[in-house]
Amino acid sequence: MSIKLKSARTLATGQKKASDKLPETTVRKNNKVVPVTKKRPITPEDLLNLHLTVEPRISPDGSRIVFAKRHVSEKNRMSSNLWIVESNGKTPRQITFCGKANRGRFSPDGRLLAFVSGRNKPQQQIFLLDLEAGGEARALTSFPEGDIGTFDFSPNGKMIGVTFREKAAEWTEEACKKRQEDKVSDPPHVIDDLYYRLDGDGVFNRQRHHLYRVDIATGDTQKIFDKAPLGISGFTWSPDSTSIAFAANLDSEPILHPWMDRLYKLNVETKKLMLLPGQDKGTRMAAAWSPNGKYIAYAGRSGFEVGWEAKNMHLFIYDITKKCDVDLNMHVDLCLESFTISDTGDISYVPNLLWTPDSKQVIAAIGIHGTLHPVAFNLAGGAPDFLTEGSRIVKFGSLSSNGKYAAATVGSMTRPEEIYIAERRGKYFETRELTKFNEKLLKTLDLVEPEEHWIEASDGHAVHLWVMKPVGLTPRKRVPAILEIHGGPHAQYGCAFFHEFQVLAAAGYAVFFGNPRGSKGYGEAHCTAIQGGWGDKDWMDIQAISGFMRQQPYVDVRRTGVTGGSYGGYMTNWAIGHTNEFAAAITDRSVSNLISLFGTSDLPTLPDTYWQGCAWERPETLWDQSPIKYFGRVSTPTLIIHSEGDLRCNVEQADQVFTTLKILGVPTRLVRYPLSTSHGMSRGGPPDLKLHRLNQILDWWKRFL
C-alpha cells in the first residue's frame, strides 16, 4: 500500500502534485523522508517465533543477571536455556545448550551458578557452573528419578537446600519400559490420601517433596525433613545458615484443615524441628527470613478463610523475639495473589517476597487495575510504596546485596516480557531494558494497542475493560466482535501481551475483555462479591460489557461471540443458558456442573466454606449456580475445548455440555486434547496442539460470525 503525505496547500484545495508522492517504503517525518517497515497481521504461527524470558536473578554485586529463555524448538517442544546479560547492557550470552535448563541461582559470593537441568534424562539434577574458572557445568546432585521443587544457597555459600520428590518405583521410566518388554499391564494407583494429584503435575499418590541439604564441596546429600503430609513447597535459610524455616501443615488431615499451616524452624545439623510459638489459625506460604535474623515474612490469610482465594492474601511478619505475627496490610486493600492472566508470560501462584538489606521493607508484586508492580511494605507501618508505575507488568526476581538493583521482567499489551534491570532512585526504581529477543519479530507485526474504558453495571458498579479494534478497521465498517471472559475467577485481565487476542484482532474481530466482579486488582469487596454466588454480580458486569460492545458503531450486533476458559468457560456456559444474543460461543476447559466438579477436581472445596452446602447434602446452591441446569434454553452454536488430562476441571464437565447440546440439536463440536495435556494447555501445552487450538477457534468464529 502506498503511503503518501499531502502538503498544506493540497490539504486545503484537495489538489495533488507529483512532487507530493513518496516511495512506498518511505514516509515524511519531521520534514525528513525516512524508511517504513511494511508490517503484517500477526498469525497463530507466530507463537512459534516468540521468545519468553523468565526467572531473572541478579548477581550479589548487581553486575549481571541470569535468566531462562524459552522458545519452540524444531522438535515441537519448548526449549529452555540459561542466559546471562551484563547490567551495563552488553549483548546477552547463552550459557547452557541442552534445552532443559532453568532456575539459575547465584551463590552468595557470585562465583558459582546453580541451576536445574534435565540433560541426563530421565533424572533432574542441580548443576554448578564456576563463573570465574569457566568450563563445563558439573552435576552436584545425584537424585533418582523425580522432581526438584525449590532450591537455594545457604547464606555462607557452603550448602544448598532443596525440595525433591522421588517418583514411585513402579512409575519410573525404567519400570514402564520393562512392563512394555514383558507385555504386562500398568499397575493400578492405590490411593489413601485426598491429596494425590495436581493439575499440571499429574498423579503422584503418596510421594511428597521432602527437604534435603546438599554439601557444595562434596555433593553429599542428606534428607533432613520428611514429616509434612503435603510435603514442603518452599523454605528460607536463616542468615547464619544454621536453620531453615518453612510453612507447613502437619495436621493428620491437612486438606480438611487448611487453617493449620504454621511456621517451623529446622536445625540443618541436628534435624531438630521447632514450632515457632504464638501463631494463630490461618494459611501460610512463601516464608522469607530477614537479613538481620529477627523476622520471617510470609504470605497468608488469618482465621478459617479457605477455598478459591477470594479474600486478600496479606503480608505477615513473624517477630522471632516477640513471638507474634504482625499483618502489614491489615488496613491496606491490596492482595499478594493478584496475578495478571496471559498466554505468554510466566504466571506464579506463590508470592516472591524480597527483603531489603536493612530489614526495614519487604517487596511483593501487587496486581491493581490490570497492572502488576512491585510494592514495598514498611515494617514501621504506614502506606506501602509502589516502586514502579505505568500500564505494564513488572516482576522483580531478586535484589542485589546492597538493595540498589533488581532483576526484573517487564511486559505490556503489545510487548512480551523481556529482561530489565531496575535501579533504585529514592523511593522508586527506574527500569532499563537489557534484552530485545522479540524486537525483530515485533517490527514486522501490525499489533493492536487496546483502548481502556470504565463503564457502569446496572446497579452502578464500576467495571474496567479494554477494547482491541480489528486491524484495518475503517469508518462506517461494521465488524464481528468477541467478548473474552477470564478464568480464576479470582484473577485479572490487563496489561500483559496476549497472543490469542492479537490473533483475533488481526483476523478482523473486535475483542472486548474486562474484569467483572470476582476479579482481583480492585479491592477485596469487588472480589468477594461473587463468593458463593457465581452467575449473579459477575453476570451483571458481563452483561454491562456485552451491552457496551453492542453500542459501538463499528460492531455488527448480529455477529457477536462469547468465550472464556476455566471460570471463563463457566461464564460462557452461563451466558448461553441465559441469553440468545450471541451468534456463537466457545467454552474452553469449562465448569458446567458444580455438583460433579466437587468430587472430580484436584482442589476439593470443603462443605459450607466458599459455597453453602455440598454435593451430598443441601446441594441446592451448587445446582442453582450450575450452568447445565439452564441448558434447556440454549440455541447458541458452541465449540467445546477441553483436555483429557485436565485435573482441575475434569473433562466430564465438557462431556455434559456436548451431550446436552447434541440432544437439544444445537450445533456443537467437542475438541478433546490428549491425556498428556492439562488445564493450562493454552499456555504450556505442546506447540502443535496450541496451534491446533487457535485454528479451531478461528475456524469456529469464521463459520458462525
**For residue 4, is pLDDT > 80?**
no
Contact between 243 and 236 under an 8 Å Cβ cutoff? The reply is: no
Q: Are strands 32-35 and 26-29 parallel, antiparallel or unpaired?
A: antiparallel
Nearest to 548 by CA among 485, 493, 474, 481: 481
Predicted model pTM = 0.93
pLDDT digits (tens, 9 = 90+) for 369-380: 999 999 999 999
Which secondary-structure segment (H or E) carries 81? Answer: strand 78-86
Angstrom distance (rounded) from CA 620 to CA 95: 58
Phi, psi of 356 (to 5 degrees): -75, 155
The residue segments making up the domain with residue 661 are 448-704
416 prior amide bond cis, ω within 30: no
- Reference 43, options 565, 695, 705; nearest CA is 695
Confirm whether 130 is domain-assigned: no
Residue 637 confidence (pLDDT): 98
Is 521 among the domain residues?
yes
**Cα(462)–Cα(526) distance, integer angstroms:** 10
| Intra-chain end-to-end CA distance of the chain, in Å | 28
DSSP, collapsed to helix, strand or coil, labels residue 354 as strand
Mind listing the pLDDT tens digit for each residue in 638-660?
999 999 999 999 999 999 999 99
Asked, for residue 571, whether it belongs to a domain, the answer is: yes
Cβ neighbourhood burial of 99 (10 Å; 0-12, 13-18, 19+): middle
Beta bridge partners of 372: 367, 393
pLDDT at 559: 98
Is the pLDDT assigned to residue 15 strictly greater than 60? no
pLDDT digits (tens, 9 = 90+) for 383-442: 999 999 999 999 999 999 999 999 999 999 999 999 999 999 999 999 999 999 999 999
| Number of domains present in the structure of the chain | 2
pLDDT at position 32: 58
Q: Within a domain: residue 436?
A: no
Identify the CATH number of the domain in which residue 494 sits: 3.40.50.1820
Residue 283 above 50 pLDDT?
yes
508 Rama sector, left if φ>0, alpha if ψ -120 to 50, beta otherwise: left
Q: Residue 13: its pLDDT value, please? A: 27
Please list the active-site residues. Answer: 566, 679
192 assigned to some structural domain:
no
How open is the CA angle 643-116-203, to the nearest 5 degrees? 35
Most confident of 40-44, 70-74, 343-347: 40-44
Q: Residue 323, Cβ neighbours under 10 Å: how many?
A: 11
Residue bearing cell 470476582? 518
413 belongs to a structural domain: no
Which residues lie closer than 8 Å to 103 by C-beta, 6 or more apart? Answer: 55, 68, 115, 116, 151
Distance CA 696, CA 480 (A): 17
Instruction: Check if the beta carbon of residue 211 is closer than 8 Å to that of residue 244.
Output: yes
